[in-house]
Amino acid sequence: MTSALIMVLIDLCENMKKISPYLSFNGHCLEAMEFYRNCLGGDLHLQTVGDSPLSSSMPANMKDTIVHAVLRIRDLEIMGSDLAVDDGLQKGNSISIMLDCSSEKEIHDYYNKLAAGGDATHPVHISFWGALFGELVDKFGNHWLLHFDSRQSN
């Protein structure tokens, strides 16, 4: 990698406002986003095909399909949609949602709620770096990493 490219990447990262996960669902966006809101709190905003400029060009049976959803929890935004690329939805494990929790109670509460109906792959435990850490796959197939470091909460 050239030093000029490295400088561009550093500049992009320094000026980046934030990164937010954008999840794709196959007709389950509303259910998933409401589940996440019930687990994590926050404000959920939804736009359906019927409420969008796409309405006139889409079949009537798609009017309740979610075009865009955003769940805002403090500084975190989780976004989602039912609309997938032409090849269709393909789930994988290449992306996880990382939650940096603010307390021991919060990490356990979030973990238990998000793991309901899913796979609690690595329950919350003290990690080798000294923080509480847990991993799970929720009932929608999305991977979550939860972290709480009491040394950084002050």
Helix axes 104-115, 29-40, angle to 10 degrees: 150
Q: What is the pLDDT of residues 76-98, one digit of tens each?
A: 999 999 887 666 777 776 688 98
Q: What is the pLDDT of residues 62-76, one digit of tens each?
A: 888 998 999 999 889
Distances (CA, A) of 73 to 36, 37, 78, 101, 115: 10, 9, 8, 12, 19
Domains of the chain, first to last: 19-84 (3.10.180.10), 93-154 (3.10.180.10)
Query: Can you tell me the distance from the alpha carbon of 71 to that of 124, in angstroms, rounded to the nearest whole number?
Result: 24
Residue 52: what pLDDT? 83
Burial track 70-89 (b if 16+ CB lie within 10 A, e otherwise): bbbbeebebbbbbbeeeeee
Residue 6: what pLDDT? 58
Residue 62: what pLDDT? 83
pTM summary value: 0.78
Q: Please report which confidence band the pLDDT of residue 16 belongs to, taking 50, 70 and 90 as the band edges.
A: low
